[in-house]
Amino acid sequence: MSAGAFRTATGGRIDRTHTLRFTFDGRPLQGCAGDTLASALLANGRHLVGRSFKYHRPRGIVTSGSEEPNALVTVVRDGGRTTPNLRATQVELYDGLTAISQNRWPSLTRDLGAINDKLSLMFPAGFYYKTFMGPRFLPENWAWTKVFEPAIRRAAGLGRAPTSADPDRYASRYAHCDVLVAGAGPAGLAAALAAAEAGARVIVADEQSEMGGSLLSASRGAINGVPTAQCAADALAQLAGHARVRLLPRTTVFGYFAQNMAGLAERISDHDPSPDPEGPRERLWQVRARHVVIATGAIERPLVFSNNDRPGIMLAGAALTYLNRYGVTPGQRAVIAGSHDGIYAAALDLAGVGVEVAAVLDTRADPQSAAMAAALDAGLPIRTGTCIVGSRGHLRVSEIMIGAPMADGSIRDAGRIPCDCLLMSGGWTPSVHLFSQSRGKLRFDAAAGVFLPGVSAQSETSAGACGGASGLAAVIESGAAAGRTAAQACGFGLGRARAYRVEGILEATEATGHVNAPRLPQGMAKAFVDFQNDVTSRDLELAAREGFRSIEHIKRYTTTGMATDQGKTSNMNALALVSGTLNTTVPDVGLTTFRQPYTPVTFGTLAGMARGDLFDPIRRTSIDGWAQGKGAAFEDVGTWKRAWYFPRAKEDMHAAVARECRTVRAAVGVFDASTLGKIEVVGPDAAEFLERMYVNAFKALKPGRCRYGILLNEAGFVIDDGVIARLAQDRFHVTTTTGGAASVLNMMEDYLQTEWPDLQVWLTSTTEQWAVIAVQGPRARDVIAPLVDGADVGGEALPHMSVCEAKVAGVPARLFRVSFTGELGFEINVPVGAGRSVWEAVAARVEDAGGCAYGTEAMHVLRAEKGYIIVGQETDGTVIPEDLGLGWAIGKSKADFVGRRSLVRPDMIRTDRKQLVGLLTRGRDVLLDDGAQVTSVAAPAKGTAALGHVTSSYHSSVLGKSIALALVRGGRGLMGQRLHVPMPKGAVEVEVVSPVFYDPKGEKLNG
Amino acid sequence: MASVDAAVSAGGGRDAGALVRAAAPAARFVFRGRDAAVATVASALGTPLSLEPCRASQSVGRIALWLGPDEWLLIAPRSEGGLVASVLAKALGGVPHALVDVSDRNSALIVSGPAVEDVLSAGCPLDLDQAAFPVGMCTRTLFAKAEIVLWRTAPAEFRVEVARSFLPYVEGVLAVAVRDGG
Amino acid sequence: MLLIHCPYCAMERPEIEFRHAGEAHVARAPDPSQLDDETWAEFLYFRSNPKGVHAERWRHVHGCGRFFNALRDTVSDRLLVTYKAGEVRPELPPQEHSR
């Protein structure tokens, strides 16, 4: 059985022995292997497949390819896979496919939204600019945002986006080739063969499931004596035999970018009834080609006449494809009409399979061609000088009205012809999208009435119909020539050219056919130009009458060409109509920009594997596993995961942090500081280099000692800080903030390479070489001393801000005596590979000493209690060292360092700059909001500038109250004064205090 | 290295186009310096240091990867790390240079198999065709969102050096790439 | 994605390996303390913004790590030539920047 009443007995490329079941709107239907959803629906006599965007008019399948404006469907698969807005012409049929129509309720045949068609006077061009203004007493825009827009959004539109997460995976791939061939029709295949035979590395991409393009839907003709479809198969077999050729079917070249980079979307599994659940659904290819052959063919244009959108009305070329490739007839009684010789080939082929050809209507008065002669010979009823003026029918065309154009421009009624399908051809439009995306300049071919590739901007060649070639012989010839040119452009020899002898083709007299744009009588029913956005000829004429001249403006006013099909079938008709209305030429009206993507690309394809765990690198320290085992909560710091706090049974974050802080102050804590940035600065000029980079003096720093370094940018603002240790005369261990690791190294390299290339000093990132274990608290020395071998950790030998090399828990280490808590502290640096084992040894002793591990939150509280800054929290790119009370760190005798000159600019030496202070709330203890403003009175007058803002705010369990750091204008002169911090629940009175809340004399540093 | 094993088995499920495995533990040093130091290192190491950009050199298991005009990544068997360090330090004496032990900074993966170019091209934007990236070429580059050092050790084998904390990410992307059939 | 010729690696590499680093040939004075406020502000904040050929700095940050200079046409977004840091800005043939 050959699924479907409109299936021919033989012919086509489908497998009649392999029946596939599918449903459309719940109704079970059958098709054949090799069908598209569109061809299978047509084989079952289904033309009506959807409702239009604005007027909800019944619509049918118009084309056989990716340019389809009407037949948008939703395909539902298992596991929440719902894909809306798929073109039925591109959906490959598989057994069990479930498709549903869109934009209709309650059903496709009875759609309440179709009332819009009757109310269409409400929706003229630019209707949303003109209508829906509310009464004046209501707020501006009220009517639109509250009433009209929600209603329109419900009624208009396409399919519904799925609401659940996309369960599929998407792959991506970079690829490189000598020659990328976009399109595998006759021109593309010839080009690919020529390039491959010259030795080039070739990628051939074609959006269809089967490569061959128009060669697959020709009923007659042969190349070198071989039928065209067989020629395609032969060419593909030869290409597949070349090791350096990659064939990508189901792959759309959707974008052409700078320097011959192309974006390709490959559909891998949508056609598969039972896809590999682990495999990707689609793949993004980013292809860099040395030369691109654009062989994207041409797209047939519809005719513009009243009610030209009835189901059953389709393009003649599409009908030929359905017949010859899929063995499907469009109906039983056909009218074929147009202004291009293609109508004769369609008429002959349809008649050949027994379809009654009611009439062949040629709008041209006196066409002369072999194709027409052949149709005449076959006895087909041909009428020249005849156009279509309208159609009738309910949900399907049943009759067309024809007319004869008169010399005065009027159209005389010429009767009616009953039919169940109308096949039309308004000529062909070369697909210059990719050429235009490449920034090539188009030229208007006045003779053919179309835009063709003009001046190239990149190394590419347009071949075949998209380049203006006419007829199969010329198309193949231009493809082969383009392939040879491409190979030559990549440095390959020309080689032997293949000879192609084309026979038996009904050649058209003209390549593209003139654009058919009749002046329609006023008041006629809707003649659609842009089917997908429901733009009629009247809309375009109205826009022109209202004063729009440029097509860019008309496009936005009428929305013509702005649907997901980007006007593939409509743009030339729109241009012709507008230029006719304005009495000007098409190039004068202009051409809208061709934008990527050529056809819609899923977000999944663009995102690729960058989702979930692979969205970004997730970086964990060597100690992370231990922290996870202890049930730590983690926070994101850049791409790092850092242990935030270590809750014990029943503890919330507040309780855990409070306990960790108290433990560090009372006993000892251990902290993973591995994410700190580290740079090894080595060479005879290392000290000189650091003196120039940092505000501090380093030449005088003795080996074995450390200094707190502050880094400014050239504008004088603090951008990073850290401890810098001198390990040897020519070797420094520099630490940076976690977030500054890469940028500080970049900045240092910049100065070294471009400002001071004479300095003999070299930089190496060691961030990931060292695990850093901070041990802080009065018992820190007791904890580590037994683990240290080869160094004296006593206060004399290893005072605050010093460093030594020793073995810790048997591992060679750099042992720092530093503190970011204000307590006696050490930071043990060991190679990352030993990080976990040394940590475990230290942590065990810490616990034995009544201590605990603490996380980043406790670290923040502890440092805030001491008034230690965090770059990026107390600083915001406008803060200089003096503002922070860190002026002491600046090497006063230094002639220069990065940012020094800026520190004496007039604005920097003002006394009323914002300065770092502490704030304590008065009365009731309140945790101030980070970033809250600081004002002089509780309720300042509108427009009063704030004095500053809160930079850090924590509850200190050690101090038994909340503390805050703030930058306040002239703050150091306001000690003891009362200010206010407006908060959501009212202003809070605060007292300005020293930013050092805990141990102001620094006695604890020595344990 | 559970994720590496997963990558291997998933790839092996269909046609095993590429395999990902961990490289043997290595000692690593970043050497930076000028001509005199370069020559000294070459003779002390027993391996010439490539002056041609993006080229590796190796002999007797000691490897020097050109990373920049004054920067090489030296790789030796883990057991030779101490020896290499002391030999180089001794030879370089008073010659200005920087030699920094980064043995633990990186991890390395070996990616091999007929589909190795395709698998790496899932994340690497370079042309990995042998004409463009021949055996012996090495360079810092990107693999998806991670920086790597890529070295082609054989027609169908690459070594990927990656900073330790980026290893799980790179392994994850490679596992997906292998599963996608390369 | 642009292809950028790295003058140190001596090959074209993809744009994502590079980082833009501002205008080229804006030298830091050997002793900024000698500059008056206006001259220093000029150095800090004022940059040309030409329509046409622009000399700018790039770093092959995910490659050889070197900073270098490039002449880029800001109209076409084409990199016309790249050259090593410290080298003088090359002259372009007239047709290269006439657009």
CB contact under 8 A, B105 and A766: yes
Asked if residue C33 is part of any domain, the answer here is no
CATH of the domain at A58: 3.10.20.440
Q: Which chain A residue is nearest to residue C34, measuring alpha carbons? A: A901
CB contact under 8 A, C16 and B142: yes
Asked if residue C98 is part of any domain, the answer here is no
CA distance C67 to chain A (A): 7
Statement to judge: residues A917 and A821 lie in one domain = no
Q: Which chain B residue is nearest to residue C66, measuring alpha carbons? A: B68
Whether C33 has its CB under 8 Å from any CB of chain A: the answer is: yes
CATH of the domain at A734: 3.30.70.1400
Asked if residue C36 is part of any domain, the answer here is no
Whether B157 has its CB under 8 Å from any CB of chain A: the answer is: no
Asked if residue C39 is part of any domain, the answer here is no
Whether A145 has its CB under 8 Å from any CB of chain C: the answer is: no
Asked if residue A557 is part of any domain, the answer here is yes
Low-confidence stretches of chain A (pLDDT < 70) are 1-2, 121-123, 127-140, 144, 148-157, 507-524
Strands (E), A798-876: 802-808, 811-817, 825-831, 852-853
Statement to judge: residues A654 and A705 lie in one domain = no
Statement to judge: residues A659 and A710 lie in one domain = no
Name the DSSP letter for residue B166: G
pLDDT at res. A78: 82
* Residue in C13, C62, C64 closest to B69 by CB: C64
Find chain C residues with C-beta within 8 A of B54's C-beta.
9, 11, 64
**Residues A746 and A739: beta-carbon distance below 8 Å:** no
Strands (E), A81-120: 81-87, 97-101
CA distance A457 to chain C (A): 10
Angle at A608 between CA A605 and CA A610, to 5 degrees: 145
Angle at B96 between CA B93 and CA B100, to 5 degrees: 85
pLDDT tens digits, residue range B109-140?
Answer: 999 999 999 999 999 999 999 999 999 999 99
Statement to judge: residues A56 and A113 lie in one domain = yes
Statement to judge: residues A25 and A112 lie in one domain = yes
Asked if residue A564 is part of any domain, the answer here is yes
CA distance B9 to chain C (A): 31
Spatial separation of the C-alpha atoms in residues A585 and A447, rounded to whole Å: 12
Asked if residue C13 is part of any domain, the answer here is yes
Asked if residue C85 is part of any domain, the answer here is yes
Reported as a pLDDT band with limits 50, 70 and 90, residue B180 is confident
Statement to judge: residues A233 and A193 lie in one domain = yes
**Residues A519 and A303: beta-carbon distance below 8 Å:** no
**Distance of alpha carbon C86 from the chain centroid:** 11
CB contact under 8 A, C40 and A754: no
Domain enclosing residue C19, as ranges: 1-26+50-90
Domain count for chain A: 6
Statement to judge: residues A550 and A689 lie in one domain = no
The set of long-range contacts for A233-241, using a CB threshold of 8 Å and a minimum separation of 24, is: A235/A189, A235/A190, A235/A192, A235/A193, A236/A184, A236/A189, A236/A211, A236/A212, A238/A193, A238/A196, A239/A189, A239/A192, A239/A193, A239/A196, A239/A202, A239/A204
CA distance C61 to chain B (A): 9
- State yes or no: pLDDT of C96 exceeds 70: no
Strands (E), A738-810: 762-765, 770-776, 788-789, 802-808
Reported as a pLDDT band with limits 50, 70 and 90, residue B2 is very low
pLDDT at res. A161: 83
CB contact under 8 A, B122 and A172: yes
The residues facing A172 across adjacent strands are A284
Last residue of a domain, one of A74, A89, A118: A118
N-to-C CA span, chain C:
22
Spatial separation of the C-alpha atoms in residues A443 and A430, rounded to whole Å: 12
The residues facing A918 across adjacent strands are A965, A993
Look at chain B and count its residues. 182
Spatial separation of the C-alpha atoms in residues A990 and A937, rounded to whole Å: 11
- State yes or no: pLDDT of C97 exceeds 50: no
The ipTM value here is 0.97
Statement to judge: residues A267 and A184 lie in one domain = yes
Find chain B residues with C-beta within 8 A of C10's C-beta.
53
Find chain C residues with C-beta within 8 A of A902's C-beta.
40, 44
CB contact under 8 A, C77 and A715: no
Find chain B residues with C-beta within 8 A of A833's C-beta.
103-104
Q: Using CA atoms in the order A739, A744, A746, A752, what is the torsion angle rounded to 10 degrees?
A: -170
Spatial separation of the C-alpha atoms in residues A794 and A817, rounded to whole Å: 10
- State yes or no: pLDDT of B8 exceeds 60: no
Whether A164 has its CB under 8 Å from any CB of chain C: the answer is: no
Domain enclosing residue A216, as ranges: 170-298+430-495
CB pairs under 8 A between A and C: 53
CA distance C44 to chain A (A): 7
**Residues A52 and A46: beta-carbon distance below 8 Å:** no
Name the DSSP letter for residue A434: H
* Residue in A288, A754, A896 closest to C67 by CB: A754
CB contact under 8 A, B54 and C66: no
CB contact under 8 A, C66 and B67: no
CATH of the domain at C16: 3.30.2270.10
CB contact under 8 A, B99 and A682: yes
Find chain C residues with C-beta within 8 A of A746's C-beta.
19, 59, 61
CA distance B14 to chain C (A): 32
Asked if residue C81 is part of any domain, the answer here is yes
CB contact under 8 A, A900 and C2: no
CB contact under 8 A, C62 and B140: yes
pLDDT at res. B5: 39
Domain count for chain C: 1
pLDDT at res. A1: 45
CA distance B146 to chain A (A): 7
What structural domains does chain B harbor? Answer: 2-23+105-179 (3.30.1360.120), 26-101 (3.30.70.1520)
pLDDT at res. A207: 97
pLDDT at res. A155: 62
CATH of the domain at A797: 3.30.1360.120
CB contact under 8 A, B125 and A640: no
DSSP SS3 for A792: coil
Asked if residue A326 is part of any domain, the answer here is no
pLDDT at res. B6: 38
CB contact under 8 A, A901 and C32: yes
Name the DSSP letter for residue A755: I
CA atoms within 13 A on the CB side of C47: 14
pLDDT at res. B12: 39
Find chain C residues with C-beta within 8 A of B143's C-beta.
none
CA distance C48 to chain B (A): 31
CB contact under 8 A, C63 and B139: yes
Asked if residue C7 is part of any domain, the answer here is yes
Asked if residue A796 is part of any domain, the answer here is yes
